[in-house]
Structure 1
Amino acid sequence: MMMVLDPVQIRVLGSLIEKEITTPESYPMSLNALVNACNQRSSRDPVLELTEDEVRQALNELEEREIVRMLHDARVPKFEHRFRTVLNLRRDETALLCLLMLRGPQTPGELRGRSERLYTFDDISSVQSTLERLASREASNEEHASKADLSGPLVALLPRQPGARESRYMHLLAGSSDLALPHSENSSPRSEAASQIDRIARLESQLASLMEALAALESRVAELEPKA
Structure 2
Amino acid sequence: MTDAPAWPVLTAAEARVLGCLIEKQATTPDVYPLTVNAAQSAANQKTARDPVMALSTGDTGHALRQLEGHRLVRQSFSSRAERYEHLVPGALDIPSPQVALLGLLLLRGAQTVHELLARSERLHAFADADDVRHHLERLEGRALVVRIPRGPGQREDRYAHLLSGPVDVAAIAARTASTTAGAGTDSALEARVEALEAELAALRGTVEALAARLA
Secondary structure (helix, strand or coil) at the match of 2:21 reads: helix
Q: Which residue of 2 aligns with 1:18?
A: 23
1:41 CA drift (Å): 1.2
User: Which of the residues 130, 136, 139 maps onto 2:141?
Assistant: 136
Which residue does the alignment assign to 2:47?
A: 42
Q: Deviations over 1:3-46 (max 9, x none)?
A: 21111000000000100111111001111111101111121111
Preserved CA contact (<8 Å) 2:149 2:173: no
Question: Is the counterpart of residue 68 in structure 1 residue 73 in structure 2?
Answer: yes
Give the corresponding residue for 1:148.
none
CA distance change for structure 1 residues 129 and 37 in 2, over 3 Å: closer, same or farther? same
Which structure has more relative contact order (CA 8 Å, sep 6+)? It is 2
- Rate the CA distance shift 1:136–1:200 in 2: closer, same or farther, 3 A: closer
Identify the structure with the greater strand proportion: 2
Q: State the partner residue of 2:208.
A: none
Q: Tell me, in whole angstroms, the C-alpha distance in 2 between the residues paired with 1:178 and 1:199.
A: 5
Choose the corresponding residue for 1:8, options 13, 24, 29.
13
**Shift of residue 178, structure 1, vs aligned partner:** 4.2
Equivalenced residue count is 177
- When normalised by structure 1's length, the TM-score is 0.73
TM-score, normalised to structure 2, is: 0.77
SS of 2:111's partner is coil
In structure 2, the residue matched to 1:172 is 162
Q: Rg: which structure is higher? A: 1
- The alignment partner of 1:70 has SS state of strand
1:1-228 paired onto structure 2 within 5 Å: 1-2=5-6, 3-72=8-77, 74-137=79-142, 153-179=143-169, 199-205=171-177, 207=178
SS in 2 for 1:157: strand
Equivalent-residue separation in structure 1 for 2:122 and 2:78 (angstroms):
29
**Counterpart for residue 198 of structure 2:** none
